Amino acid sequence: MDTTGNNGSAPAAGGRGVLQRLYTGTGAFDIVGKRKYWYVILGLLMLVSAASIGIKGFNLSIEFEGGTNISMPAQGASGQISTEQAERTVRDTLGNDPSSVQLVGSGASQTVQISTEKLDVQELAEVKSALYEDLRPLGADGQPSPEAISDSAVSGTWGNEITRQALIALAVFLVLVTVFLAFYFERWMAVGALVALIHDVLVTAGVYSLVGFEVSPSTVIGLLTILGFSLYDTVVVFDKVKENTSGLLSVTRRTYPEAANLAVNQSLMRSINTSIIALLPVLGLLFVGAGLLGVGVLRDLALVQGVGMIAGVLSSILLATPLLVDLKMRESAYRAHERKVLQRRRHRSGEDEVEEENPTEQPDTSARMAGAGASNGSGRAGTGRPSGKAERRGAARRRR
């Protein structure tokens, strides 16, 4: 039974703005009560992400697939060399597009980095010759020189080794997190946090697969860094849940879902503020790395962190705590406590309805007081002081 919305201790939310409700954190947002909707939405995200990874796969960088990297100065005899010019020359020579073309660095030291599939000796010579003929990059002496174009072979072994080490680190991280949460909080909180972390990794990887972002070793490393942020946000909410539910079974003020929902509301504004502050340096890293310096490593790192942080906020609020509530409500003690709380509320509600339908008759004291006043007045009039003649007669009797 869903009782989250019946929190009798929370102030009514009607007539209050959204921002005020966010800052007060009094349980005005029924997040836990609508957990089935969040399960459907986040479940669809995970399903689409898994399907995209399985069907479409990833756009792997040259470090994973291996290939040839060609580098040359960005200054040519005719001025600045653009990525479009270099890409067009390689495409016309090989008959297909290069894997990536990007500008790296700034000023006089800026270079054009071209990544292609693995080229044999003849293909490499043809590409370098075409680049020199079309773009004429300047050498160290400021004159066009074919020696200004360098090349290097990249093996996919390095990228695969990075991935293997990252997967090992991920497995160790998840095990340690599960053990820590199970001892510090409880087992169901560990399960909720673990599911939230899996959601974050899967959705972030799915976004990369769907959009076609290039996956480089920097992306893999960035994927590990977002797990710490996601776990921090989840632990903050769980700590508030633990505080709100301490000694809950001994009182009948709130049910467990209501106490958990109140904890989410109390932590909601903090989660939003923390996420905004955390995203600012990530956006700065993305702007500087991709916009100014043209460094692909910084761009890849910032992209995966930005996507992962957004996924982490959603999972800590909409998935971890609602899942914890469902797991806790499987325990007979909390189900019995919920029935007791609802029964008490129905009993009190019934008494209130009876009082409204049959108000207690109040005695009409005004008429009684008026009557009493009148009788007292008449009494005083009837038994007032005796007249002068009666007083003289009494005095005469006393003398005799």
Q: What are 36-57's pLDDT values in tens digits?
A: 999 999 999 999 999 999 999 8
Distances (CA, A) of 213 to 32, 233, 304: 34, 26, 9
118 & 165 share domain = no
The answer to whether position 41 is within a domain reads yes
Pick from 154, 179, 195: which residue ends a domain? Answer: 154
301 and 333: one domain?
yes
Do 71 and 55 share a structural domain?
Answer: no
Given this model, what pLDDT does residue 15 score? 45
- Reported as a pLDDT band with limits 50, 70 and 90, residue 7 is very low
User: What tokens does 151 get?
Assistant: 């090349």
CA distance 137 to 103: 14
Radius of gyration, alpha carbons of the chain: 39
Residue 314 has pLDDT above 50, yes or no: yes
Phi then psi for 170, rounded to 5 degrees?
-65, -45
Same domain, 181 and 260: yes
Query: Is residue 283 within 8 Å of 267, Cβ to Cβ?
Result: no
Q: How many domains does the chain divide into?
A: 2
Structure tokens at 146: 């074919």
Question: For the whole model, what pTM was predicted?
Answer: 0.70
Alpha-carbon distance of 383 to 380, in angstroms, equals 5
Looking at the fold, whether 276 and 254 belong to one and the same domain comes out as yes
Per residue in 285-299, pLDDT tens?
777 666 555 555 677
> Would you say 36 and 64 are in contact if contact means Cβ atoms under 8 Å apart?
no
User: What pLDDT, in 10s, does the model give residues 65-118?
Assistant: 788 889 999 888 888 888 888 999 999 998 888 888 888 777 778 888 888 888
pLDDT of residue 292: 55
Residues contacting residue 213 through CB under 8 Å, at least 6 positions apart: 59, 207, 219, 300, 303
Name the band, by pLDDT with cuts 50, 70 and 90, for residue 302: confident
Banded model confidence at residue 191, pLDDT cuts 50, 70, 90:
very high
Token output for 16: 């209050």
Place of tokens 């199970």: 182
Structural domain that includes position 80? 67-154
Q: What span, in angstroms and rounded, lies between the C-alpha atoms of 313 and 291? A: 27
390 located within any domain: no
Q: Are residues 257 and 328 in the same domain?
A: yes
CB 334 within 8 A of CB 210: no
Question: Does 276 score more than 90 pLDDT?
Answer: no
**Whole-angstrom Cα distance, residue 327 to residue 190?**
11
Q: What is the DSSP string of 207-235?
A: HHHHHT-EE-HHHHHHHHHHHHHHHHHHH
User: In terms of domains, do 333 and 184 share one?
Assistant: yes
DSSP 4: G
For residue 351, what are the CA distances in angstroms to 11, 138, 179, 359? Answer: 22, 92, 49, 11
Q: Could you count the other beta carbons within 10 Å of the beta carbon of residue 334?
A: 18
Q: Is residue 246 one of the residues assigned to a domain? A: yes
Say if 183 falls within a structural domain: yes
CA distance 280 to 267: 20
Whole-number Å distance between alpha carbons of 400 and 388: 19
Are 209 and 56 within 8 A, CB to CB?
yes
Q: Is residue 95 part of a domain?
A: yes
197 and 88 together in one domain: no
User: 113 with 166, same domain?
Assistant: no
Within this chain, do residues 144 and 227 fall inside the same structural domain, yes or no? no
Domain harbouring 91, CATH code? 3.30.70
pLDDT cut 90: percent of the chain above it: 23
Q: What's the CA gap between 396 and 392, in Å, rounded?
A: 6
- End residue of a domain, out of 340, 362, 392: 340
- Inside any domain, residue 374: no
Asked whether the predicted pLDDT for residue 315 surpasses 80, the reply is yes
